Structure 1
Amino acid sequence: MSVNESSEQHAQIEKILDSLDVETTPPLIVRNERDLANLDVNVDAFLLFVHCIKRFPSLIALATTGKRIILTSEEGAAGHILDAYEYLSEYENVTYALTFPEVRRKIRVLKAVKHIKATKVGVFDAGKRSLKEIVWHKNPLLTDKFDTTYINIQDFKRRYQNVDETKAKNLAKAWMSEAEVREPTLEDVTQSARVYLAMKHTIEKMGIDVAYVLWCSQFNSMLGTKMCFAISKLNDVGLLTGCWRGGNLLPMLVLNTVAKKPVFFGEVHMYEEGIISLRHCAVPQTVADCQYVLRRWRDREGTVTGYCNLPEGEVTIVNAGQGDTAVVMQGTVIDSRDLGGENCRTTVWIELEDKTLVPALIGREFAMVYGSYKAEAKDVVTQLGIKVK
C-alpha cells in the first residue's frame, strides 16, 4: 500500500469517528496478526470496523478480555459484520451494529454504564428505620451495588441549625413568587429553604454525585418539617436526589443518565386494565417544566410539598427494588392529579404499552422520564449485571 493510500484510510477513519462523536485512542488499522499486538487493551471498549472476511485468532484473545466489543463497518456492509459476529458470538461481551445510529446508541449505553459505576451516592439515614423487613436487605442500595457513603447526620444537623435565617427567608420568598401558594406560610417555606440549604451544603461539601434520603420521616422531629420540597428543589438545580426505601435509586440513575433529564421517582398507587398510577410528594418541576402549587404534606401544618401537573406524553419507566432484577417499560401519561387527603401530593396515570409486563413487577418503587429510552435503559441495566424482565 502506498503512503497516499494509507493517509487516505486514516483520514476516512477520522471522519467516521468524528461523525460518531467517539473519544478514542489513536485508531489502529489491522492488516495482519502482528498489527493486533499493538492494540492498547487498557480501554473501556473496542469498536472494530470489519472490512474483510479474513479472521485473526487474536480477535478471540481480545474477546476473552471481557471488554465490550462492538463490531461494525461502513453502513450497509452487513455481510462482513455478521460474519465476524459468527466468529465471536459465543462471547457475551461481543455485539454488533449494522448502522451508525446503532453504533452511537451502543456507545451512549457504554458511557452511561461507566458513569453509573463511577457515581458516588450519599445516603441521608438517621438510623431510625426498621431493618426487620427483608425488603430492606434485598434492594440494591443496601447490597453494595453502588459506591455509597453515609452522611454524618450530626454534621447535617449542625448545618441545618446554622443556616442563615435571612438567606433562607429570601430564598423562600423567591420560591413563593414563582409558584401558586395555597396553605403554606412564609415561615413554612422558610423551614423548607433551611433544609434545602443544609442538604445542598452537605452534598457539595462531601463531593457526592447523587443524594438519597432513606425514608425521610426519620428526620421529621430533627427538622420540624418534611424534606419533600427541599428534595424537589435540589433536583431542580441539577443535584439528583431521591427518597423512599432505596428501590427507586437504580431506576433514577439509569433514566437520568440515559435521558440526561430530571426524573419522576415514586411508588405505585393503583393498577387497572393496562393503566398504572405512580405517586410521590417530591416531584421536580423540571421533569416537565410545570409550575409548582405549594401545598401542605398530607394536610399537616408547617409542612410544604409542591404539586406538579405533569403533562400527557410518552414516558419510559423502570421498576426495581429487590435484588438484581428490574423491569423496563414504555407508556403514555394520560392524567395527573392532586388527590389530597392522605395521598402523596402528585399522582400520575400511565397507559402501558405492554401490560403483559405487569406480572413481572418486583417492587413498589419506580422512576419515570419523558421520552422513549426503553432500549437504552434495558441495555444499561443489563450491562450493570442486573436481569431485565
Structure 2
Amino acid sequence: MKMSVIGTGYLGATHAGAMAELGHEVLGVDVDENKVALLASGQVPFFEPGLPELLSKHVTSGALRFTTSVQEATAFADLHFVCVGTPQRSGSNAADLTYVNDAFRSLLQHVRPGAVVVGKSTVPVGTAGALAVDVRAAGAQLVWNPEFLREGFAVEDTLRPDRLVMGAEDDAALTTLQQAYAPILAAGTPLVITDFATAELVKVAANSFLATKISFINAMAEICETTGADVTQLATAIGHDDRIGPKFLRAGLGFGGGCLPKDIRAFMARAEELGVDQAVSFLKNIDDINLRRRARTVDLALEMCAGSFAGRRVAVLGAAFKPDSDDIRDSPALDVADAIQRGGAAVHVYDPQAMGNAKNVHPTLAYSSSALEACDGADAVLHLTEWREFRELRPADLAAVVRQRNILDGRSILDAATWRDAGWQFRALGRP
C-alpha cells in the first residue's frame, strides 16, 4: 500500500519506518525542512534504539521518502496517518491541539475523495468526533488509532504491539486500515474495534492506570520510610498476586517524560470541561505523589551531605527521564539536579545520550564526559536514570575517585548489600 505519515517526530518517524518494514511505500511529511533533510539521509534527530537502522534500510531501498509538501503526500497516497504532538498548553493542564488542527486543516485542503485519514495523536476525548465532520466534508473518512509506544522500545511496540485499537464510523475505512496492519494482525495481535470516544480514552486511561500503579508503590515507600519497612520486599510480596502483578511496582524517583505527566493532566482538564472532574480527582493525588518523590530525593541527598549542600559536590548519574532515550521532558533527574544546585552544591551530571538536550534546557548545571568524571571528588553520588552502564558500576570503580562514599539509588535497582559491604553509605527511597 501507499501511505503518508504527517508529522515525523518521535511517533511519526517510528511509524513511518515500521510501515515501510511491513512492506508499504511510505512518504513522511513535516514542516521542518532540517528534520526532513536529516531523515531523508537515513538519520534520526533523537535517540531510539533500532530506529536509525530501520530508517536507513528503507530510505536506501526507496520504500521510505520524506517531504515538506502535503500536496505531494495527497497525490501519492489515499491513506494518511496524522502523528503530530499534543504538548501541554502553556499556563494550563489542557492539551494544546494546535499541531493536530494545523495538520488536519492542511491535509484536508488537498485530500482526494475516498481517502482514509488515521489519527494517532493523543487527544482529549471528543476531538475525533469534531474532526470527523471536517474529514467527511472533504470526502474522506476518519479512523482513530491510538499509539502505545514506550520510549526505548518504540520499534518493537509498533511492529509487535500488544493490541491494536481502531475507532471508526465507516466499515470501508476500517478495512483499509486493517489491510495496512495485515502482517501484524496475521501474527495474532488482538484488535479492538470501537467508537471514536472509546479509542481516544484508551490511551489516556492506560497511562492514568500505569501512573496510578507507580504512584501507589511510591506512596507505600513513604510509609515504609516512616516505619522502617522495605518497599522492595513489599512490592515483591504483593506482586505475586495475579490480580496485581509485579510490573510498575518498583518504587523510586517516579515517572516523567512527554507522555504520562502530560496525559494525566490533560485528562483531568478534559474531565473538568465535561463536568466529571470528580471522577478522576484521584489523578491530582497521583501527580502530587509523583512530584513528592523528587523532593524526598533532594532531602535524602541533603542528609548525605550532613545537612548542607554549601561547598559540596554532587554527582548526578542520569539526565534522561528513562534509560534508552535522550528525552529530558519533565525529567525527574534534572529536577533533582536543579534543586540541589539551588541549594548551593556543585552538581555534575552525566548521561550516555541526553547530554546535548540537557545542556540546552539546563545550561547552568555542570556536565561531565563520563560517569567517573562526574563522580570525581563527589560527596554524594545520585543514581537517577537506570542506564545499564550505571547499573553495572562497581563500588570499587567509584571509590577511587569520590571524596565521600555516599550513594543514593533513586531507582531502587542497585544491590544495597554490595555497596554497603564495600563501605558505602547506601540510601534508597522506601528502604531502611
- TM-score range, shorter-chain basis? under 0.3
TM-score by length of 1: 0.23
Which of the two has greater helix per residue? 2
Larger radius of gyration, structure 1 or 2?
1
TM-score by length of 2: 0.21
Which of the two has greater strand per residue? 1
